[in-house]
Amino acid sequence: MKRLIFIIGIIAPTFLFSQNNTEKILAAIEQNNTTLAALRKSLDAEKIGNKTEIFPDNPEVEFG
């Protein structure tokens, strides 16, 4: 029983700290990778391009 508690006490903090390091590493990669930055800007431009010209040029309303 003491051995199990000891093993859990050693392994549990390792998993907790490794997740924080992984998130930091992925954030650093995303920030410094020029390919990802270019793809993100391309995606933003494509989203804006899809929103343009969705309305008619000269809408007219008639009622009688």
Q: pLDDT tens-digit profile of 8-51?
A: 777 766 666 656 677 888 888 888 889 988 999 999 999 998 88
Q: What is the pLDDT of residues 39-64, one digit of tens each?
A: 999 999 999 988 887 887 888 888 87
Among left, alpha and beta (phi > 0; psi -120 to 50; other), residue 63 is beta
- Residue 29 is encoded by which pair of tokens? 């990669």
In the prediction, which pLDDT does 57 show? 81
Cα distances from 22 to residues 14, 19, 29, 32, 35, in angstroms, run 12, 5, 10, 15, 20
- Name the DSSP letter for residue 5: H
pLDDT, position 43: 95
